[in-house]
Amino acid sequence: MSNTALKKQAEEISVYAYKGETVKQALKRDGRINKTILKKNCVLSELSEEGETEMANLVDDLDGKSFKIILLDKSSQPDSQPGSLDNADMLLNEPQTSGADGNQGPPQQSTASESVNTQTTEESPEKSALHEIHNSEKMLNHLRSQLSVSVKQMKTQQKVSKLSDVQNLFRVEYGKNTKTCLEVKTVKRLMDLSKSVCQVRINGSAAGSGFLLFDKFVLTNGHVVKNIYDQDTRQLGENVTVTFCFESLEQTDSCETVQVKTEVAAYEHHTDVSGYLCDWALLELCPGQALPDGLLKHFGFVPQRGGICIIGHPGGGVKKIDPCFIIPPDHREQAVEKHYEENKECIQLVTDSFFNNRQVLSYDTCFYFWSSGSPVFDEHCNVVAMHSGGYAYENAKCQTQSVIEYAHPLSLIIEQIILKVVKTGRFDVLNEFLSCENAKHQQVMENLKKIVDGRNFTAFKNAADNLEVQNDKRLKTFFEFFSQREEPVLMDID
């Protein structure tokens, strides 16, 4: 026996084997027999009658028989018989010892049994009388109850072990959701639009992401420049630049940067009366450098569901793209619970106000820090929102993750930009915005008119009399639209 303590407690042991196995295979898998016996020239001698069984023989006809192991000589075990399963793939791994004392795990169960007397050749050659094993009936019932489960597990292991690494790889690939696939034409279109995405830098260091919205105006989040922005003077207190070409680490030094003007075109970072956080900044670039096309002409409204793509500079690194799926407002709580169950000690629960906020677009992305200001595209390559943040935490492995991420709809930001530039008298910015044609602008204007009429903005009334507006046909038409009043409908009542 491998464990000498076990030999003192039992005179006989039961070995379980599969039909089609050799004696050597069964003893090897059992694990309790000293491995020397499997290497030396040993045979099984039957107790009830004369006859010997070699280690290479099959166990099929040995059910219920009792043997003792005899060492014929110290030579090596003879070669297996032709057709032997000695090296077959069905052999399971040898059980590992549980510690330094050499104790083995419990014997594995199978469909046949054989009782082996472990007397050595030094003991008396006389055949010992058969007697009942202590608690044998109880042991047998216990083994039978576990037999079917063990057999199923073994068969499963055998099937899996026969799969090559290549097969396992393809099993994973074939299991992917086809909805995550993008058409080649969509990828090409996004790559073209990605030229307008930039990295925002403060004093040469990455601070966030952004994109050219129209003309020479870059849109990013207000919190990206919040710490260097003066509300009273509307000036930036530090040097701000953007770069549109940072797509590889080799371009770190050679990538061309564009200077941002000190005066900010428009800025909002506050919570309005409805509890909605306005968080955006419109930065004006200095003239003199060639710029990509603005994305305003590709503007679209936020879809209710489906796939989206975010392009930006997560982690302050090179430009990246992340395809993901929209999480509808009704499913946000379920998405958060999934993260929370896995990281209860790390996550602070997201507030109920977020779950109920149907204005923001929510999703699950890998874009974390320094990706604020990235444009969000829908399945038709329309810019529908601006990636703004998420509820971040640090997991047990000290890795930064986020429970759920969100973006502000571009339609709401456009409305806020128009209100702001009219209020501050930046009609030059408004004029450049109006010069960018988009079929969806009319719907934005109609929504904005409802806001202006409802809140009675005096800035729109006063702007109609401004000399700059009067001398510009485009601006004049714009403010005339807001000065129109709907005529009451007269109804004949009998």
| pLDDT-based confidence at residue 273 (cuts at 50, 70, 90) | confident
Number of Cβ within 10 Å of residue 294's Cβ equals 22
Q: What pLDDT, on the 0 to 100 scale, is given for residue 116?
A: 39
Kindly state the average pLDDT of the residues 192-202. 97
The pair of structure tokens assigned to 395 is 């997991």
Number of Cβ within 10 Å of residue 67's Cβ equals 24
Kindly state the average pLDDT of the residues 105-128. 41
The pair of structure tokens assigned to 352 is 């109920």
Say if residue 353's pLDDT is above 80: no
| pLDDT-based confidence at residue 18 (cuts at 50, 70, 90) | confident
Kindly state the average pLDDT of the residues 89-106. 38
Q: Which CATH class is domain 185-411?
A: mainly beta
> What value does the mean pLDDT of the chain take?
79
Say if residue 171's pLDDT is above 60: no
Q: Identify which has the larger pLDDT, 20 or 213.
A: 213
Say if residue 309's pLDDT is above 90: yes
For 310-352, write each residue's pLDDT tens digit: 999 999 999 999 999 999 988 888 877 766 666 665 656 566 6
CA angle 27, 30, 34 (to 5 degrees): 60
| pLDDT-based confidence at residue 89 (cuts at 50, 70, 90) | very low
For 411-443, write each residue's pLDDT tens digit: 999 999 999 999 999 999 999 999 987 778 888
Kindly state the average pLDDT of the residues 208-230. 97
Kindly state the average pLDDT of the residues 393-401. 64
The answer to whether the predicted template modeling score (pTM) of the entire model surpasses 0.85 is no
- Of 16-30, 53-67, 120-134, 359-373, the poorest mean pLDDT is in 120-134
- Cα atoms found within 13 Å of the Cα of residue 302, Cβ hemisphere only: 25
Number of Cβ within 10 Å of residue 100's Cβ equals 6
* Residue intervals in the chain for CATH 2.40.10.120: 185-411
Say if residue 81's pLDDT is above 70: no
The pair of structure tokens assigned to 158 is 């055998």
| pLDDT-based confidence at residue 245 (cuts at 50, 70, 90) | very high
Say if residue 183's pLDDT is above 90: no
pLDDT > 70: percent of the chain: 71
| pLDDT-based confidence at residue 96 (cuts at 50, 70, 90) | very low
Q: Identify which has the larger pLDDT, 342 or 475.
A: 475
Q: Identify which has the larger pLDDT, 15 or 219.
A: 219
Say if residue 120's pLDDT is above 70: no
Q: Which of 87-101, 217-231, 399-413, 426-440: highest mean pLDDT?
A: 217-231
Q: What pLDDT, on the 0 to 100 scale, is given for residue 56?
A: 84
Distances (CA, A) of 72 to 37, 117, 152, 215, 240: 11, 16, 38, 96, 89
Number of Cβ within 10 Å of residue 494's Cβ equals 2
Say if residue 109's pLDDT is above 70: no
CB 152 within 8 A of CB 80: no
The pair of structure tokens assigned to 123 is 């003991």
Q: Note the residue count of the chain.
A: 494
Task: List 484's β-bridge partners, or say none.
Answer: none
| pLDDT-based confidence at residue 455 (cuts at 50, 70, 90) | confident
In 3D space, the residue among 208, 213, 251, 252 whose CA is nearest the CA of residue 228 turns out to be 208
Q: What pLDDT, on the 0 to 100 scale, is given for residue 189?
A: 95
Q: What pLDDT, on the 0 to 100 scale, is given for residue 190?
A: 95
Q: What pLDDT, on the 0 to 100 scale, is given for residue 220?
A: 98
